[in-house]
C-alpha cells in the first residue's frame, strides 16, 4: 500500500478523474485564448500544475509513473522557448522574431496561428515542471526528516 | 588560402578523432595532418593577404585572417615543432593505452588554436584563440588527471593565464575603442600611439596579459608547476608554442606601442625575469623544473629584447626566437628520454647515462652548449647579437651586467645538465637503454642548431624575407660566425669563465641551496586560492545565513536602505495619488486579515487569513479592470495554499511550538513589526513614485496601439509577454529553471 499525504477519501478518489480533465480543459482553453483574451502559457501552466499536484496529493507516489518527469518537462519547455527564439536567426531574421499565419478556413472561420503559441507552450511546460517538481521534492524531503 | 587550411586541418582532425572515437591509426592521421599544416603554410603565396568573413559586423568582430611575416614565422615554428612533438610523443607514450587518441587530439587542437592566434587579423578573434590555447593547455597539463601535482599544476596555469588574459582583453578593447577598429592590418598602418592616459592603460593591460602567458616575473611561478604535464607537452607548450605567445603579442603591438614613454617597462620586466629565472634554475633539482626556469629566463631575454627597442625597429629577433626553440625543444625531449630511463625527475639521482642513449646525449650536449652560448651554436650568435645591441644602448652597463649574471648562471646549469646526467655514475642499477627512434627528434634539432650556428648566413637571409614594416629595421646586418676580436667576444669569454666558476662553487656546496621562501610564489598562490572559500564563509557569517531569524532582517534592512536612498533622490517628482472611497472597505478588510496573519497563534487561522488577503488582492485587480492579473493571482493563491498545506502536514507539533517561542519574545516582535511597516511604507511610496505623472513614461500606450499590427493579438498583456518583451520572459523562465534546480539540489536526499 503506497503512502499518501491524505487519508484515503473515496469521494475525492472517484471524483478526481473528472475534475482532472475539467481543470486541464480549462488550461487548454486559457492557453489558446491567450493571444486575444486573458490567458496564456503561464496561467495555463499553473492550472495544469494544480491538477497534477492534486493528483499527487490523492494518489501519493503511485502517480509518479504516469506523469512526466518534472525536470525533463521544464527542460523541454526551456528548449522549446529558446528554439522558437533561435529559429528566425536561421532565416536572417532577428532573434525572437515571431511569425503569424492568418488563414481563412471555410466553415471554421478565421484562424490565426503563429510561433508565439510555440513560445508560450515552452513557458507552459516550464511552469508545470517547476511547480510540480518543487511540490514533489518538498514532500519527499519532509518525509525523510 | 594556405593559412586557413593550416588552421582547419588540425582542428578538423582533432574533432573527428573525438567525434568518431578513433582508436587505430590515430598517430598516423595526426602526424599527416600536422605535416599537411606545414605544407599548406608553404603554399601560402601572397603575403599580407586578408581573408574576411563577417561574424558580428555591428561590433566590428569578423572571422578575419592575415599572413604577414611575423605570423608566418611563428606559424612555421609552431607547426614544424608540432610534427617533431607528435613523432616524439608516439615513442614517449605507452604503446597501448586508451588515452593516447585523446592526447593526439589535444595536441592537434592546441596546434590549431596556436595557429589561429597567430593568423588572426581581428584582435577579438585573436583573444578567443588565445584563451582557447589556455583551455587546451589546461587539458594537456592535467593530462595525468589522477595525480595531485597534475591537478594543481593545470589549475594554476589556467587561472594565471586566463585571468591575465581577461586583463589583456580590457587592453585590446581599449585599443579598439581608440581606433574604432579591431582590424590588425588596419591598425598597423596607423601612426604609432602617443602617451595618453588611455594608451598607457591599454599598454599596461596588454603587458599583464603577456606577462601571464609568457611566465614573466612575478607571474613566472605557474611554468615550473606546469611541468607536471607529460614531457612532450612541456617540450611543445612550454618551450616552442604557448609561452611564446606573449613574445608574439609584444612583437605584434611593437609598431603601435613602442613609441610610448613607458615602453621601457617591457625591457625592465623582461630583463628582471631573465636574471631571476636563470638564478632560480641553479636552486632546483627537478630536471624539468631546471628547464622550466631556464625557459622563464629565456622568455625574459626575448621580451626584454623587444623592450630595449632600437632606432627604426629591431633586427634578428626571429633568430633569437629560433635559437631558443631549437635548443629548448631538444633539451625538453632529452629530459623526457632521461626520465624514462631513470624513472625519476631528480637530477641528484642520475648519472652515467651516455652509453644507454648516445644520440640523446650528443643532442643534450649540443643544446646545452647552445644554451651556454658556446661558439659554433646558434646560442653563441644570439648572445653576440644581444651584446652588440646592448652595448649601443644608453644604459649599457646595467644591461650587460644583467646579461652576464643570467648567462653565466645558464652556463653553470648547462654544465650541470651534461655532466650530472651523462658522465658520472651514481646509481648501481644499469640505465635502461632507449630506442633510436625515441632519440631521433632531439638529435635532429641539435643538428639544426649546430649547422645554423656554423653557417648562419642563409638562415638569417631567409628570416629577413619575413620582416615586417614598423617592427624590423629596413636593412639588417648580416650575421657571421667570426666578427673578429670585439668587445662582445671578450664579454662572452668572461661569461663562460664566470659560468664555470659558478658551477664549481655550487659543486663544492653539492647543490644544496634551495629556493628561498620569498620566491615560492606558487605556494602563496595556492594558499590564496584555497583561502577563497574562507572569505565567502566569513561573508556568510556576517550575513548570518545560518539563522533565518537573523538573516531576513539583514536582507530587509539593506533593501530598505537602498530603496529609501532611491526615494529620497527622486522625491521631487513624487506626488501622492488619491483613491476613491469605494476601495476603503476593501482596504480595511485586507489590512485586518494581514494583521491577523501576524498576530494569530494558530496556523490554520493564519492560513485562512493569508488566503483572504490573496483573494481580496485579486478582487482589487478586478476593480482595476485587469483580468489577466485576476486569473493569475487566483491560480497562484490555489497553488500556494496547496504547497503550504503540504508543508504544514509534515511539521511536527513540537517544531511549531519552538517557532512560537521565538515569536513571543516581545522585543523581537516589535523589531519585526517595525521592519514590516517599513517595507510596506517603502513599497507603497515606490508605487506612488512610478505612478507620479512627472516620472511615469506612458510606454503602455505604444503596446496597446501596436498589439494588433505588430504582434497580431488583441490582448496586449500577452503580446507583451511573448512578443514585445519576449526576451524578458525567456530570462524569467530560465531563472525559474535555475531556481528549480537549486531547490532540487537542496532538498534531494539520497535514499539509502
Collect all residues of chain A within an 8 Å Cβ-Cβ radius of residue B728. none
Asked if residue A3 is part of any domain, the answer here is: no
| 8 Å CB contact of A119 and B722 | yes
Main-chain dihedrals φ then ψ at residue B246, nearest 5 degrees = -60, -45
Mean pLDDT over each residue of chain A, to the nearest integer: 80
How many domains does one find in chain A? 1
* β-bridge mates for residue B50, sequence order: B66
Interface test with B, best of A38, A54, A112 (most B CBs within 10 A): A38
Give me the mean pLDDT over the B357-379 stretch.
84
Least confident range from B613-627, B670-684, B718-732: namely B718-732
- CA B568 – CA B151 distance, rounded (Å): 53
Question: Is the pLDDT score of B742 beyond 70?
Answer: yes
pTM over 0.90, yes/no: no
Interface test with B, best of A48, A60, A86, A116 (most B CBs within 10 A): A116
Q: Cell triple for residue B189?
A: 598602418
- CA B703 – CA B717 distance, rounded (Å): 9
Question: Is the pLDDT score of B728 beyond 60?
Answer: yes
How many domains does one find in chain B? 2
| 8 Å CB contact of A144 and B749 | yes
Angle between helices B317-342 and B69-92 (to 10 degrees): 10
Residue identified by cell 523541454 is: A76
Is B579 found in the same domain as B461? no
CB neighbours of residue B607 within 10 Å: 17
- In the prediction, which pLDDT does A113 show? 67
Does residue B218 have a cis bond before it (omega within 30 degrees)? Answer: yes
Residue identified by cell 509577454 is: B721
Collect all residues of chain B within an 8 Å Cβ-Cβ radius of residue A112. 712-713
Interface test with A, best of B635, B638, B742 (most A CBs within 10 A): B635
Residue, of A112 and B733, whose pLDDT is higher: B733
- DSSP letter assigned to residue A113: E
- In the prediction, which pLDDT does B752 show? 44
Determine the length of chain A.
Answer: 145
Asked if residue B67 is part of any domain, the answer here is: no
pLDDT band at B290; cut points 50, 70, 90: confident
Q: Cell triple for residue B69?
A: 611575416
Collect all residues of chain A within an 8 Å Cβ-Cβ radius of residue B727. 95-96
Asked if residue B682 is part of any domain, the answer here is: yes
Q: Which residues of B touch A (CB under 8 A)?
A: 627-628, 630-632, 635-636, 638-639, 642-643, 646-647, 649-651, 711-715, 717-719, 721-723, 726-727, 729-730, 733-734, 736-737, 739-741, 743-744, 747-749, 751
Residue, of B54 and B117, whose pLDDT is higher: B117
Question: Is the pLDDT score of B628 beyond 90?
Answer: no
User: Of B635, B712, B715, which is closest to A34 when you measure between CB atoms?
Assistant: B715
Give me the mean pLDDT over the B11-29 stretch.
79
Determine the length of chain B.
Answer: 752
Collect all residues of chain B within an 8 Å Cβ-Cβ radius of residue A119. 722, 726, 729
pLDDT tens figures, B104-154 = 888 888 988 998 898 888 888 999 999 999 898 888 887 876 777 778 888
Is B581 found in the same domain as B471? no
pLDDT band at B532; cut points 50, 70, 90: confident
Asked if residue A75 is part of any domain, the answer here is: yes
pLDDT band at B374; cut points 50, 70, 90: confident
- In the prediction, which pLDDT does A1 show? 39
Is B570 found in the same domain as B494? no
pLDDT band at B430; cut points 50, 70, 90: low
Q: How is B636-688 classified by DSSP, letter by letter?
A: HHHHHHHHHHHHHHHS-HHHHHHHHHHHH-HHHHHHHHHHHHHHHHHHHHHHH
CB neighbours of residue B623 within 10 Å: 12
Full residue range of the structural domain in which residue A85 is found? 10-143
pLDDT tens figures, B545-587 = 877 778 888 889 999 999 889 888 887 777 777 777 878 888 8
Write the CA distances from B263 to A112, B207, B208, B652, integer angstroms. Answer: 66, 10, 13, 72
- In the prediction, which pLDDT does B474 show? 67
| 8 Å CB contact of B714 and A36 | yes
User: Of A50, A82, A112, which is closest to B635 when you measure between CB atoms?
Assistant: A50
Is B491 found in the same domain as B617? no
* β-bridge mates for residue A103, sequence order: A111
- CA B240 – CA B640 distance, rounded (Å): 63
Question: Is the pLDDT score of B348 beyond 80?
Answer: no
User: Of B642, B722, B733, which is closest to A78 when you measure between CB atoms?
Assistant: B733
- In the prediction, which pLDDT does B166 show? 92
Give me the mean pLDDT over the B241-247 stretch.
86
Is B586 found in the same domain as B452? no
The answer to whether B619 and B582 have CB atoms below 8 angstroms apart is no
User: Of B631, B651, B740, which is closest to A133 when you measure between CB atoms?
Assistant: B740
Main-chain dihedrals φ then ψ at residue A110, nearest 5 degrees = -75, 140
The answer to whether A58 and A64 have CB atoms below 8 angstroms apart is no
Full residue range of the structural domain in which residue B642 is found? 534-713
- DSSP letter assigned to residue B286: B
ipTM over 0.85: yes
The answer to whether B368 and B446 have CB atoms below 8 angstroms apart is no
At a CB cut-off of 8 Å and minimum separation 6, what does A134 contact? B643, B740, B743
| 8 Å CB contact of B747 and A74 | no
Question: Is the pLDDT score of B217 beyond 70?
Answer: yes
At a CB cut-off of 8 Å and minimum separation 6, what does B407 contact? B278, B372, B373, B383, B495, B499
Is B692 found in the same domain as B575? yes
- CA B480 – CA B458 distance, rounded (Å): 11
- CA A97 – CA A118 distance, rounded (Å): 12
Interface test with A, best of B643, B648, B729 (most A CBs within 10 A): B729
The answer to whether A119 and A125 have CB atoms below 8 angstroms apart is no
Interface test with B, best of A19, A95, A119 (most B CBs within 10 A): A119
- Give the residue from chain A lying closest to B741, CA to CA: A71
Nearest to B410 by CA among B499, B491, B300, B331: B499
Collect all residues of chain A within an 8 Å Cβ-Cβ radius of residue B649. 5
User: Of B649, B718, B740, which is closest to A5 when you measure between CB atoms?
Assistant: B649
Taking the mean position of all CA atoms in its chain, how far away is CA B668? 50
| 8 Å CB contact of A35 and B734 | no
- Give the residue from chain A lying closest to B720, CA to CA: A35
- Checking DSSP bridges between strand B61-66 and strand A100-105, what pairing results, if any? unpaired
Asked if residue A5 is part of any domain, the answer here is: no
Collect all residues of chain A within an 8 Å Cβ-Cβ radius of residue B655. none
Asked if residue B400 is part of any domain, the answer here is: yes
- In the prediction, which pLDDT does A74 show? 92
Asked if residue A30 is part of any domain, the answer here is: yes
| 8 Å CB contact of A120 and B722 | yes
Q: Which long-range contacts (C-beta less than 8 Å, at least 24 apart) are formed by B710-715?
A: B711/A98, B711/A100, B711/A116, B712/A35, B712/A100, B712/A102, B712/A112, B712/A114, B713/A35, B713/A36, B713/A112, B713/A116, B714/A35, B714/A36, B714/A37, B715/A34, B715/A35, B715/A36, B715/A37, B715/A38, B715/A39, B715/A40, B715/B628
- CA B217 – CA B96 distance, rounded (Å): 40
Give me the mean pLDDT over the B465-489 stretch.
71
- Give the residue from chain B lying closest to A144, CA to CA: B749
Q: Cell triple for residue B305?
A: 629584447
- In the prediction, which pLDDT does B428 show? 55
Asked if residue A1 is part of any domain, the answer here is: no
Question: Is the pLDDT score of B662 beyond 60?
Answer: no
| 8 Å CB contact of B723 and A37 | no
- CA B439 – CA B445 distance, rounded (Å): 11
The answer to whether B418 and B412 have CB atoms below 8 angstroms apart is no
Q: Which long-range contacts (C-beta less than 8 Å, at least 24 apart) are formed by B52-59?
A: B52/B121
pLDDT tens figures, A94-140 = 776 777 666 666 665 555 667 778 888 899 999 999 999 888 887 77
* β-bridge mates for residue B346, sequence order: B286
Is B563 found in the same domain as B492? no
Question: Is the pLDDT score of B695 beyond 60?
Answer: no
Asked if residue B686 is part of any domain, the answer here is: yes
| 8 Å CB contact of B647 and A142 | yes
- CA B371 – CA B332 distance, rounded (Å): 13
Under the phi-then-psi rule, with left for phi > 0, alpha for psi from -120 to 50, and beta for the rest, what region is B9? Answer: alpha
CB neighbours of residue B540 within 10 Å: 12
Interface test with A, best of B632, B737, B740 (most A CBs within 10 A): B740
- CA B290 – CA B238 distance, rounded (Å): 13
**Angle in degrees, CA B134, B139, B141, rounded to 5:** 85
| 8 Å CB contact of B723 and A98 | yes
Is B452 found in the same domain as B385? yes
At a CB cut-off of 8 Å and minimum separation 6, what does A10 contact? none
Collect all residues of chain B within an 8 Å Cβ-Cβ radius of residue A132. none
Is B330 found in the same domain as B434? yes
Nearest to B16 by CA among B1, B26, B4: B26
Give me the mean pLDDT over the B446-472 stretch.
79
Mean pLDDT over each residue of chain B, to the nearest integer: 81
User: Of A47, A133, A134, which is closest to B635 when you measure between CB atoms?
Assistant: A47
Alpha helical stretches, state H, chain A = 10-33, 41-59, 70-90, 115-143
- CA B607 – CA B636 distance, rounded (Å): 14
Q: Cell triple for residue B477?
A: 646586418
Q: Cell triple for residue A117?
A: 503559441
Collect all residues of chain B within an 8 Å Cβ-Cβ radius of residue A141. 747-749
Give me the mean pLDDT over the A84-90 stretch.
80
Is B609 found in the same domain as B461? no
Inter-chain contacts counted by CB atoms under 8 A, chains A and B:
146
Is B606 found in the same domain as B489? no
Question: Is the pLDDT score of B727 beyond 70?
Answer: yes
Q: Cell triple for residue B105?
A: 587530439
CB neighbours of residue B344 within 10 Å: 14
Asked if residue A2 is part of any domain, the answer here is: no
Asked if residue B584 is part of any domain, the answer here is: yes
pLDDT tens figures, B26-50 = 777 777 887 787 877 787 666 777 8
Amino acid at each position: 500500500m503506497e503512502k499518501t499525504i491524505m487519508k484515503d477519501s473515496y469521494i475525492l478518489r472517484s471524483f478526481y478523474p473528472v475534475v482532472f480533465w475539467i481543470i486541464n480543459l480549462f488550461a487548454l482553453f486559457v492557453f489558446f485564448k491567450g493571444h486575444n483574451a486573458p490567458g496564456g502559457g503561464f496561467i495555463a501552466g499553473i492550472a495544469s500544475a494544480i491538477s497534477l499536484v492534486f493528483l499527487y496529493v490523492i494518489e501519493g507516489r503511485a502517480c509518479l509513473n504516469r506523469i512526466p518527469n518534472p525536470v525533463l518537462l521544464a527542460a523541454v519547455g526551456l528548449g522549446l522557448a529558446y528554439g522558437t527564439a533561435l529559429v528566425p536567426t536561421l532565416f536572417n531574421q532577428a532573434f525572437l522574431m515571431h511569425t503569424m499565419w492568418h488563414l481563412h478556413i471555410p466553415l471554421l472561420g478565421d484562424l490565426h496561428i503563429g510561433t508565439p503559441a510555440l513560445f508560450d507552450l515552452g513557458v507552459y511546460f516550464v511552469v508545470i515542471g517547476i511547480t510540480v517538481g518543487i511540490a514533489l521534492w518538498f514532500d519527499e524531503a519532509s518525509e525523510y526528516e | 588560402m594556405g593559412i586557413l587550411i593550416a588552421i582547419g586541418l588540425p582542428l578538423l582532425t582533432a574533432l573527428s578523432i573525438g567525434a568518431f572515437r578513433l582508436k587505430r591509426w590515430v598517430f598516423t592521421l595526426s602526424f599527416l595532418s600536422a605535416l599537411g599544416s606545414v605544407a599548406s603554410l608553404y603554399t601560402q603565396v601572397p603575403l599580407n593577404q586578408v581573408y574576411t568573413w563577417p561574424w558580428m559586423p555591428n561590433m566590428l568582430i569578423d572571422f578575419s585572417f592575415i599572413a604577414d611575416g611575423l605570423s608566418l614565422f611563428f606559424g612555421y615554428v609552431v607547426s614544424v615543432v608540432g610534427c617533431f612533438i607528435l613523432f616524439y610523443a608516439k615513442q614517449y607514450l605507452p604503446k597501448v593505452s586508451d588515452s593516447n587518441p585523446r592526447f593526439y587530439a589535444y595536441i592537434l587542437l592546441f596546434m590549431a588554436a596556436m595557429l589561429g592566434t597567430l593568423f588572426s587579423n581581428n584582435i577579438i578573434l585573436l583573444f578567443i584563440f588565445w584563451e582557447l590555447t589556455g583551455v587546451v593547455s589546461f587539458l594537456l597539463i592535467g593530462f595525468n588527471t589522477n595525480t595531485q601535482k597534475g591537478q594543481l599544476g593545470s589549475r594554476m596555469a589556467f587561472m594565471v593565464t586566463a585571468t591575465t588574459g581577461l586583463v589583456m582583453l580590457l587592453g585590446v578593447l581599449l585599443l579598439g575603442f581608440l581606433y574604432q577598429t579591431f582590424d590588425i592590418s588596419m591598425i598597423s598602418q596607423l601612426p604609432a600611439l602617443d602617451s595618453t592616459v588611455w594608451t598607457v592603460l591599454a599598454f599596461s593591460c596588454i603587458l599583464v596579459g603577456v606577462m601571464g602567458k609568457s611566465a614573466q616575473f612575478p607571474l613566472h611561478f605557474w611554468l615550473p608547476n606546469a611541468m607536471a604535464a607529460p614531457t612532450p607537452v612541456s617540450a611543445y607548450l612550454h618551450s616552442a608554442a604557448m609561452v611564446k605567445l606573449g613574445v608574439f603579442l609584444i612583437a605584434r603591438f611593437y609598431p603601435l606601442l613602442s613609441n610610448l614613454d613607458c615602453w621601457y617597462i617591457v625591457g625592465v620586466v623582461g630583463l628582471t625575469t631573465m636574471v631571476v629565472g636563470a638564478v632560480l634554475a641553479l636552486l632546483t633539482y627537478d630536471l624539468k623544473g631546471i628547464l622550466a626556469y631556464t625557459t622563464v629566463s629565456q622568455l625574459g631575454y626575448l621580451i626584454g629584447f623587444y623592450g630595449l627597442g632600437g632606432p627604426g625597429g629591431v633586427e634578428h629577433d626571429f633568430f633569437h626566437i629560433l635559437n631558443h626553440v631549437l635548443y629548448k625543444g631538444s633539451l625538453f625531449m632529452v629530459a623526457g628520454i632521461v626520465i624514462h630511463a631513470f624513472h625519476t625527475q631528480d637530477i641528484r639521482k642520475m648519472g652515467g647515462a651516455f652509453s644507454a642513449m648516445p644520440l640523446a646525449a650528443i643532442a643534450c650536449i649540443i643544446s646545452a652548449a647552445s644554451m651556454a652560448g658556446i661558439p659554433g651554436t646558434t646560442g653563441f650568435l644570439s648572445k653576440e647579437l644581444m651584446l652588440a645591441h646592448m652595448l649601443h644602448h644608453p644604459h649599457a652597463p646595467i644591461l650587460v651586467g644583467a646579461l652576464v649574471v643570467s648567462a653565466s648562471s645558464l652556463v653553470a646549469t648547462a654544465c650541470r645538465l651534461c655532466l650530472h646526467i651523462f658522465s658520472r655514475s651514481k646509481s648501481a642499477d644499469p640505465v635502461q637503454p632507449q630506442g633510436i627512434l625515441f632519440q631521433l627528434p632531439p638529435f635532429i634539432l641539435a643538428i639544426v642548431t649546430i649547422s645554423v650556428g656554423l653557417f648562419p648566413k642563409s638562415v638569417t637571409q631567409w628570416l629577413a624575407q619575413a620582416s615586417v614594416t614598423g617592427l624590423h629595421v629596413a636593412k639588417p646586418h648580416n650575421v657571421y660566425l667570426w666578427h673578429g676580436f670585439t668587445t662582445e667576444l671578450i664579454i662572452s669569454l668572461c661569461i663562460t669563465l664566470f659560468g664555470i666558476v659558478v658551477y664549481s662553487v655550487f659543486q663544492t656546496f653539492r647543490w644544496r641551496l634551495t629556493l628561498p621562501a620569498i620566491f615560492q610564489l606558487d605556494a602563496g598562490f595556492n594558499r590564496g586560492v584555497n583561502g577563497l572559500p574562507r572569505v565567502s564563509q566569513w561573508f556568510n557569517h556576517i550575513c548570518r545565513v545560518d539563522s533565518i531569524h537573523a538573516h531576513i532582517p539583514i536582507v530587509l534592512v539593506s533593501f530598505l536602505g537602498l530603496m529609501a536612498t532611491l526615494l529620497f533622490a527622486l522625491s521631487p517628482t513624487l506626488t501622492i495619488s488619491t483613491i476613491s472611497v469605494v476601495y476603503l472597505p476593501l482596504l480595511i478588510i485586507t489590512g485586518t486579515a494581514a494583521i491577523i496573519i501576524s498576530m494569530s497563534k494558530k496556523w490554520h487561522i493564519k492560513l485562512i487569513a493569508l488566503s483572504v488577503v490573496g483573494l481580496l488582492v485579486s478582487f482589487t485587480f478586478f476593480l482595476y479592470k485587469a483580468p489577466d492579473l485576476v486569473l493569475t493571482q487566483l491560480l497562484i493563491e490555489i497553488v500556494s495554499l496547496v504547497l503550504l498545506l503540504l508543508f504544514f502536514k509534515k511539521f511536527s507539533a513540537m517544531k511549531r511550538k519552538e517557532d512560537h517561542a521565538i515569536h513571543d519574545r516581545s522585543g523581537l516582535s516589535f523589531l519585526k513589526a517595525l521592519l514590516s511597516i517599513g517595507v510596506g511604507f517603502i513599497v507603497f511610496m515606490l508605487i506612488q513614485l512610478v505612478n507620479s505623472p512627472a516620472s511615469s513614461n506612458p510606454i503602455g500606450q505604444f503596446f496597446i496601439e501596436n498589439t494588433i499590427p505588430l504582434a497580431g493579438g488583441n490582448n496586449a498583456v500577452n503580446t507583451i509577454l511573448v512578443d514585445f518583451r519576449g526576451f524578458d520572459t525567456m530570462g524569467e523562465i530560465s531563472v525559474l529553471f535555475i531556481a528549480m534546480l537549486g531547490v532540487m539540489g537542496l532538498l534531494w536526499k539520497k535514499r539509502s
